[in-house]
Amino acid sequence: EKKAVVTKMVPVISVPTIAASGSEVSNMSIISNVKEKRKLDCQSDMERPVAAFIDPSYTYSVPPFETACGIISIMSNAYEGYFSRAAGEIQDGISEAIQRSCILHGRRVMACPCSYESRAQLLWSASLAITHLSDCGREYAGCVHSIEHALSAFLDISHGVSLAIASLAWFKYALCDETAPRFARWGRNVWGINAGKDDFAIGVEAVKRFEAFIRELNLPARLSEIGIKIPEKAAVQMAHRIYPAIDGAAWFRPLSGEDDLAEVFRLAC
C-alpha cells in the first residue's frame, strides 16, 4: 500500500526451478490479500537477489501446465512495455528477440521437456525480460499486469493463465487505427506475418496468432473456457477497484474512464 519504505533486507541467493516471472533477478515481490481480493506489489532494488544460480536441468521436471504458464509470463514481461508510444529501435529488438525465443523454445520444450538448450533459453529470456532492459527510456504503464492482478485477485486463478487471458483481452481493446502500426511491427517481427497487408490487418492477424499460441500451449484464452462467468456487476467492480490506482492516460491506448477498463474485463470473458 506504499505506506512504508524498504530500508534493509536479508541478502537472498536464488536458485530458480521454473522459467517464468524471473524472480531470481527481480526487484519486486507480490502478496495477495485473499479476504479483500487484492493483489499488490512491493518494489525496491534492495529486494533483488545478490546472486542467482540458474541451472536449466532443475526445470526438466516442471509439468506442462506450469511450463506453459511460465512461457506466457516471460512473454508478458517483454511485450507489455513494447506496446508504448516511445520509440526505441534497440529496445524493440531486445523485446522482439525475447518474444521469438519464447515462441520457438516454448514449442520445443513442450514437445521435449528435457531439452537443455530450450530450457536454458527460456530461463535466460525470463531473466532478461524481468529486468525490463527493453523498456529503458520508455514510459512503462503496466497495463496487462494491472488487469491480471484484478482477475487473479478476484477469481483466484493461476498467474500465467490470468496473464494469457488478460493479454488477449487487452490486445483486442488496444488495437485501433491509431495503434495499428505498433501491432503491425509486432506481427511482422515476432509472428512473421506477410508485410504485404495493411497495418490494421496485420495487427488483427497478430492478435489471432497470439491466441493460437495460447491454445497451442493448452492454456485457456478466455475465462468462459475455465467455467468462469463474470457478471456485469463484477466487471464494473473490478474496474472501480483498480482504476484509481493506475494511470490510464499513460496506457498505449489510453483509458478515458472506468467504463473502458470494464470493457477489457468483458473481453476477458
Summarised one tens digit per residue, pLDDT across range 165-213 is: 999 999 999 999 999 999 999 999 999 998 788 999 999 999 999 999 9
Rounded to an integer, what distance in angstroms lies between the CA atom of residue 139 and that of residue 87? 10
**pLDDT for res 40:** 81
pLDDT in tens, 211-259: 999 999 999 999 999 998 888 888 888 888 888 888 888 889 999 999 9
CB atoms within 10 A of CB 100: 17
User: What is the pLDDT averaged over residues 16-33?
Assistant: 90
Chain centroid to CA 10: 29
Query: For the chain, which domains are there?
Result: 63-268 (1.20.1090.10)
3-state SS, 100-146, equals HHHHHHHHHHHHCCCCHHHHHHHHHHHHHHHCCHHHCCCCCCCHHHH
pLDDT in tens, 30-48: 888 878 777 788 888 888 9
Strongest mean pLDDT among 42-56, 128-142, 149-163: 42-56
How far, CA to CA in Å, does 201 sit from each of 106, 163, 176, 193?
A: 26, 24, 11, 10
Hey, which residues does 41 pair with through a beta bridge?
A: 30
Rounded to an integer, what distance in angstroms lies between the CA atom of residue 197 and that of residue 51? 47
**pTM given for the model:** 0.92
Rounded to an integer, what distance in angstroms lies between the CA atom of residue 128 and that of residue 126? 6
**pLDDT for res 39:** 79
Strand duo 13-14 + 51-52: pairing:
parallel
Task: Report the percent of the chain where pLDDT is more than 70.
Answer: 100
Decide if pLDDT at 98 tops 80: yes
Instruction: Work out the pLDDT band at 130, boundaries 50, 70, 90.
Output: very high
Average pLDDT, the chain: 92
Task: Residue 181: name the closest of 98, 260, 251, 252 by CA.
Answer: 252
